[in-house]
Structure 1
Amino acid sequence: MSQFRTRALASVAAAASLSLLLAACGGGEDSDSAAKPTEATKGKVTLEFWSWTDGIEAQTKVWNKEHPETQIKFVNAAGDTAYQKLRAAVNAGTAPCLSKMDGMNLANFAADGLLTDITDVAGQYKGKYTAAAWNAVSPGGTTFGIPMGSSPLFTAYRADLFEKYGIEAPKTWDDLIAAGKKAQKKNKKVKIFNMAGEDPSTLVDLSWESGAQWYKAEDDHWVVDFTSPEALKAGDIVQQLVDNDLASNASYADPGVFKTWDLGTTIAMTTSTWQLPIYNTNFPKSKGKWQLADSPMFDTAKPQTSSNFDTLGVLKGCKYPDRAAEFAAWLSSSKESLTTLTDPASKSGLFPAVTDVSPYVDKIIPTEMFNGESDSAKVITDAASWVGDQWQYGPNYAAMYSEMQKQWGKVMKKEITVKEMLTSIEKWTVDDLNDKGIKAVAGS
């Protein structure tokens, strides 16, 4: 999961207008103060850092020994209510300078005026990370954090059962559909894929890979487009999987979910780096029968994958944004830090968002899990280089995703079509943004 293709930078107008939108939403007397240029912090400082990733606290101790001028006070913020606690802390004026957060929550916090604009102080670190990763911390072109980790998409499949059913690793999504149909002719109970009723991530991945842009910052507003030709092309693949009963519907909340792959009921999946150790532990019967391959593509001549991103957001009220960015960049890009954090022994599950992931790939691959017939390291490295850089987390992405989860279950039950869901979600998202005072229009 090699360099990313260069992405077009957001226009200055888009960045400025987004800052105005964020200020309007923040509501506080000084809600736009974060957009002002930041002077370099002088002298010894201590800044608070919240995270819930294993192995991170040990790295902060390494940093503290080497950087007496910038001391990090680590707080383990683990728990289902971490984001609620973080919001409450910002509103109470007791927030940390820095906190872990995923890409969609960073965009949400930014839209609510809860983050600090660090564009000026963070620019020097931009070249360390992939374009797609930097995009994740820069909604609308304004930077609010530093990338931490990525999870580029690739395929894991039961090579033994693919051979048994006379199918090959699918190069395209159409190939996946065809392979699923062929396998079912030999075993009508087998499924080529899994789509849980509570989890629309398959549609997100396909939409990202197809080149769709659900959100796009443009001038003084957001363009919301869930029904573009690219988005509908992704939706059509999902619809075919549903209509032809090619996907199992094992819930990821079910502890027994792993059996569908381990026992060969489902024979392929799109997956990522952080999941590999989990499979190695939970696939006892099929160990050594798996193989990695590229994620299916929409256009093999222009390969494009998707990825979730972990970030380190700089919170509103942080007195030392330059030091926070410096520490965050060290933690997420220095060889010293990444050599430890990408080691499975750290239990962090981290895969970096830097431009060159090659030093960190081999050790994350559980070799006993795979049959050794493909170059697993190359599959992962290529996936990292192919993450589409057009994708943008919009201001209400987290709320939109919750709404999509509600409708996704109806799609899986064949009560509504994917296109009907996408049309509905587009309207819901536009209405929700406008209700929040953030100007948005439908794109199609």
Structure 2
Amino acid sequence: MSTIRTRAVAGAAAALSLSLVLSACGGGDGSDSAAKTTKGDVKLEFWSWTDGIEAQVGVWNKAHPETQVKFVNAAGDTVYQKLRAAVTSGNAPCLSKMDGMNLANFAADGLLTDISEVAAPYKSRYTAPAWNAVSPGGATYGIPTGSSPLFTAYRADLFQKYGIKAPKTWQDLIDAGKAVQKKDKGVKIYNMAGEDPSTLVDLSWEAGAQWYKLAGDHWEIGFTSPEALKAGDVVQQLVDNDLASNASYADPGVFKTWDLGHTIAMTTSTWQLPIYDTNFPKSKGEWQLADSPAFDPAKPQTSSNFDVTAVLKGCKYPDRAAQFAAWLSSSKESLTALTDPKSKSGLFPAVKDVSPYVDKIIPAEMFNGKSDSAQVITTAASRVGDQWQYGPNYAAMYSEMQKQWGQVMKKEITVKEMLTHLQDWVLADLKSKGVKAVAAG
């Protein structure tokens, strides 16, 4: 199961205007306020929907009387629409939780504050891919919060039964799937839901593709690059050979396909482990972790989602906002609490050294103990490819891809046809918005 989802440039002297790169009408609040040091006591509003965060805001407030943070639980499917409306009306919070693609989208639409200067002192705490997620096009609009590096979970008992080993490459996974099919047509090696194209995102990232790449004053769009097509070919083989189940992540019974042994492997991440511990009662203790399959075993890399804390347009105290956000996601005090399963946050740090936080997130009874689960997770965190960028219309592109993905799963179109369509669609959409973009060479 891929991570479940229902799922720009600052300084005219250094580069072209942000508005040329992100959007025709401007890409954020680049005012001098972002570089000022705030004096005196201030109050910040912070929207989030992560369990455990509110308690940490309380811890911060007790220790920092000069910067008081008001927590607002913004849970709900319409949170991004509410944030947009709040910015437009001038009532936006200073800070809000987001994912990487929505941060890029908000930046492109001029709804965030460029905090490049005040955020710079915190950059060294985080991994390069995590910083990329808050810096679409170069300018920084927030602070990384958490990561979701991808690795493999598989039914060790059934792998042994079918005489297959944990796949080291994606071709290994395909070959293993074919071997299983020869012995039992009812068992699949993988799952790809009809509503969730995240498998292709992950594979493209791992293959070294760059769907979006900033190049000077324009974006290069690479949905049909050799790396992207290599990733697409793996998906196509899974589809053509009927190697994947199609359990929907919207179905409450989705976990049964793995728990009952109908699907015997998945790519997954840290925040999902406690979910499996609860929802895999029959197979508990039969699972094992392994590195995510690689395209090039000599240079293995994986992918990750990133949660971020964005600084919205109109924030009067961006330096204090950045200070709080960095404390929340990089201080030992905060991370020790948030990575504790008791917090129910599901947070896995985006910092460079994750070793202090790995052991306790691994459900003790979930895995058979024959592999080093902590090492697998630590390795995954270090292998996230740093080439991936979220472009200015990534969120809209993802919605378009979802429409096409269902057709791919039904064998109505090929993955290559979908990627070709997305290439044309993204270029046309960016052109319509006045954003300079060309097909990658």
TM bracket, shorter-chain basis: over 0.9
Partner in structure 1 of residue 202 of structure 2: 205
Which of 321, 324, 344 lines up with 1:324 in the alignment? 321
Aligned to 2:231, which of 227, 234, 242? 234
Q: Kindly, what percent of the aligned residue pairs are identical?
A: 79
Q: Distance in 1 between matches of 2:320 and 2:10?
A: 27
Match for residue 75 of structure 1 among 72, 87, 108:
72
In structure 2, distance between residues paired with 1:159 and 1:179? 13
Distance 1:12 1:207 in 2: 31
Partner of 1:359: 356
Number of the residue aligned with 1:416: 413
Partner of 2:87 in structure 1? 90
Deviation at 1:24, TM superposition (A): 5.3
Note if contact 1:160-1:289 (Cα within 8 Å) is conserved in structure 2. Answer: yes
Q: CA deviation at 1:17?
A: 3.0
Q: In structure 2, what is the equivalent of residue 62 of structure 1?
A: 59
Residue 332 of structure 2 aligns with which residue? 335
Q: For the structure 1 residues 342 and 429, does the alpha-carbon distance in structure 2 shift closer, same or farther, using more than 3 Å as the test? A: same
- Compute the displacement of 1:33 (Å): 3.9
- Post-superposition CA distance 1:86-131 (Å, at most 9, x none): 0000000000111000000000000000000000000000000000
**3-state SS in 2 of match to 1:367:** coil
> 1: distance between equivalents of 2:394 and 2:252?
28
Q: How big is the shift at 1:34? A: 3.4
Letter in 2 for 1:278: I
The residue aligned with 1:177 is 174
| Residues 269-288 of structure 1 aligned to structure 2 (within 5 Å) | 269-288=266-285
| Aligned counterpart in structure 2 of residue 140 of structure 1, from 128, 137, 141 | 137
Kindly tell me: are residues 10 and 166 of structure 1, through their superposed partners in 2, closer, same or farther at Cα, counting changes over 3 Å? Answer: farther
Structure 1 residues 32-62: Cα deviation after superposition (integer angstroms, max 9, x where no partner): 5437752100000001111011110110010
Matches within 5 A, 1:95-106: 95-106=92-103
User: What's 2:3 paired with?
Assistant: none
Contact between 1:23 and 1:32, CA under 8 Å: does it hold in 2?
A: no
Pick one of 241, 245, 248 that aligns with 1:248: 245
2:306 to 303, 309, 312: 309
Gaps of 5+ in 1: 1-8
Cα-Cα RMSD? 1.7
1:440 Cα deviation after fit: 1.1
Q: Which amino acid aligns with 1:284?
A: P
Cα gap change, 1:26 to 1:97, in 2 (>3 Å): farther
Q: Which residue in the other structure is 1:442 paired with?
A: 439
On the 8 A contact 1:22/1:112 being kept in 2, the answer is: no
SS class of match (1:250)? coil
Residue number among 140, 143, 149 corresponding to 1:152 in the alignment = 149
Aligned residue number for residue 388 of structure 2: 391
Q: 1:64 to 1:34 in 2, by over 3 A?
A: same
Matched, 1:196 2:193: yes
8 Å CA contact 1:154, 1:383 repeated in 2: yes
Structure 1, 256-265 or 19-28: larger mean CA deviation: 19-28
Q: Which runs of 5 or more structure 2 residues have no equivalent in the other structure?
A: 1-7
Give me the TM-score of the superposition, normalised by structure 2: 0.96
| Contact 2:9 2:21 survives alignment (8 Å) | no
Q: Within 2, Cα distance between the matches of 1:221 and 1:11?
A: 14
Residues 246 and 23 (structure 1), Cα distance of their counterparts in 2 relative to 1, 3 Å cut: closer
Residue 372 (structure 1) aligned with residue 369 (structure 2): yes
CA contact (8 A) 1:207 1:234 kept: yes
Q: Deviations over 1:389-428 (max 9, x none)?
A: 0000000100000000000000001110000000000100
Measure the CA separation in 1 of the matches of 2:97 and 2:310. Answer: 6
Does 59-68 or 12-21 show the bigger shift?
A: 12-21
Q: Which residue of 2 aligns with 1:224?
A: 221
SS at match of 1:257: coil
Distance across 1 between alignment mates of 2:10 and 2:21: 17
The 3 A distance-change label for structure 1 pair 18 and 111 is farther
Q: In 2, Cα distance between the equivalents of 1:215 and 1:196?
A: 25
1:381–1:24 CA distance, 2 compared to 1 (3 A)? closer
